[in-house]
Amino acid sequence: MALTCAIIGASGYTGAELAAMITRHPQLQLAGLYVSAGSSDAGKALASLHRTLLGVVDGVLEPLADDAVEQVASRAQIVFLATEHKISHDYAPRLLAAGATVFDLSAAFRFNDAAPYSAHYGFDHQFPELLNEAVYGLAEWNADAIKGARLIAVAGCYPTASLLALKPLEAAGLIAPGFVPAINAVSGVSGAGRKATLTNSFCEVSYNPYGVLAHRHQPEIARHLGRPVVFTPHLGNFPRGIVATIAVQLVAGTTAAQVDAAYAAAYTGKSCVRLYNQRCPGSWPSINAVVKTPFCDLGWKVDEALGHVVVVSAIDNLLKGASSQAIQCVNMRFGLTDFPLVGG
């Protein structure tokens, strides 16, 4: 029997992608699409907002009153929160108490302590016990913990691209002691969400850095890598996708073969990570190769004389950076078929 699923915050880009994948999944059933009670999208068909879903997803966006959150768990065994951080913070405990398994796509439970929330997210976290319980949903690295979890904090988009690139080197002990990796990453404007602003207006978008030395994803990357990083995000004039370029100082004497072996050890048999050095040597990951796919593409080059490696990572921010990674986590949590995780 299929597991029933509901999406709260279903009208956005992430919610639409989730709805498409749940509908196509042979072992999941879409049981509810919700938006806030005051949303202008309430009562509309999801496919009328995201027309790629015409004939794919037939559901209507239902208004969800704050006092009715627990009722979602009576309709769905699995609840996805594609909501603002503070809303996820408020809703997740109530859904868990009502018996749902929660997959949160916000940052509300990605840390095991409360300090980053007051410093970077504008609210004081009230549920330290859930911060300790939540499992970080970086699928390729936390599969065993995900299998027993009831609250999965799906990794952020920039952190996914960065951590998948860096963790094999860190795990193999190949990053020079005390070295602080510098991550330069560019994202398409869909990373800002569906609501129109001057910043993501087509006529205003340019290639430019933002959040320099102040972006909230920096502490998330550092926390789950286990060392400090310098993270500089950029806005690109394209709809979706992320490319991160990272230069890393290696332990003295590290060879290219050792770096190759670290990535092979980390990702052999992991279907959603594609290693360019194995599959298409001499080529580099790109936006076009990952858009509307669930893959993280990784490529690297070692300069043994300088003792450095440059790693390039590419993902679709809406899929591997959000929705398809959430479905990966569902598959792991419930032992489901690893079906093709394609977008809408």
Over residues 138-173, the pLDDT tens digits come to: 999 999 999 999 999 999 999 999 999 999 999 999
Same domain flag for 37 and 148: yes
Distances (CA, A) of 324 to 157, 167, 254, 259, 342: 11, 20, 35, 28, 8
pLDDT on residue 104: 98
Residue type, 150: R
Distances (CA, A) of 8 to 87, 93, 150, 194: 10, 14, 17, 15
For tokens 């999406």, the residue is 7
Helix (H) or strand (E) run with residue 49 in it: helix 46-49
> 88-93 long-range contacts, Cβ below 8 Å, gap at least 24?
89/117, 89/123, 89/125, 89/126, 89/127, 91/8, 92/127, 92/130, 92/151, 93/127, 93/130
Q: What is the mean pLDDT of the chain?
A: 94
Residue 341 domain flag: no
Q: What is the mean pLDDT of residues 232-243?
A: 94
Residue 35 domain flag: yes
Residue 339 domain flag: no
- What's the full length of the chain, in residues? 344
Same domain flag for 163 and 288: yes
Q: What is the rounded CA–CA span in Å between residue 232 and residue 212? A: 6
C-alpha closest to that of 187 among 200, 204, 198: 200
Q: What is the rounded CA–CA span in Å between residue 139 and residue 109? A: 16
- Asked if the model's pLDDT at residue 207 lies above 90, the reply is no
Same domain flag for 194 and 246: yes
Q: Is the pTM of this model over 0.75?
A: yes
Share of residues in the chain with pLDDT > 70 (%): 97
Q: Residue 343: which pLDDT band, with cuts at 50, 70 and 90?
A: very low
pLDDT on residue 341: 58
Same domain flag for 137 and 219: no
Q: What is the CATH number of the domain that holds 309?
A: 3.30.360.10
Same domain flag for 206 and 290: yes
Give residues with Cβ within 8 angstroms of 45, minimum separation 6. Answer: 58, 59, 60, 61
Q: What is the rounded CA–CA span in Å between residue 295 and residue 287? A: 11
Same domain flag for 10 and 131: yes
Q: What is the mean pLDDT of residues 171-197?
A: 89
pLDDT on residue 201: 72
Q: Residue 16: which pLDDT band, with cuts at 50, 70 and 90?
A: very high
Least reliable range by pLDDT among 74-83, 141-150, 197-206, 313-322? 197-206
- Asked if the model's pLDDT at residue 344 lies above 50, the reply is no
Q: What is the mean pLDDT of residues 198-222?
A: 87
Residue 170 domain flag: yes
Same domain flag for 171 and 123: no
Handedness of CA 203, 209, 212, 217 (dihedral sign): positive
Same domain flag for 176 and 295: yes
- Token pair of 87, please? 């809303």
pLDDT on residue 206: 84
Asked if 157 is an active-site residue, the reply is yes
Q: What is the mean pLDDT of residues 67-87?
A: 97
Range of the domain at 294: 158-315
Residue 344 domain flag: no
For tokens 């907002």, the residue is 49
- Asked if the model's pLDDT at residue 130 lies above 90, the reply is yes
Q: What is the rounded CA–CA span in Å between residue 279 and residue 105? A: 31
Residue type, 316: D
C-alpha closest to that of 238 among 300, 289, 187: 187
Share of residues in the chain with pLDDT > 90 (%): 90
Beta strands in 26-181 (DSSP E): 28-36, 62-64, 78-81, 101-104, 135-137, 151-154
* Rg of the chain (C-alpha set): 20
- Token pair of 326, please? 């959430």
Same domain flag for 72 and 193: no
Higher model confidence: residue 26 or residue 200? 26
Instruction: Express each pLDDT in 33-70 by its tens digit.
Output: 999 999 999 999 999 999 999 999 999 999 999 999 99
For tokens 């340019």, the residue is 206
Same domain flag for 150 and 171: no
Residue 343 domain flag: no
Q: What is the CATH number of the domain that holds 94?
A: 3.40.50.720
CB 19 within 8 A of CB 10: yes
First to last CA, the chain: 24
Q: What is the rounded CA–CA span in Å between residue 245 and residue 16? A: 29
Same domain flag for 277 and 164: yes
Q: Which of 157, 272, 296, 329 is catalytic?
A: 157
- Asked if the model's pLDDT at residue 215 lies above 80, the reply is yes
Same domain flag for 285 and 173: yes
Q: Helix, strand, or coil here: 243?
A: strand
Domain count, the chain: 2
Residue 286 domain flag: yes
Residue 219 domain flag: yes
**Bridge partners for 209 per DSSP:** 234
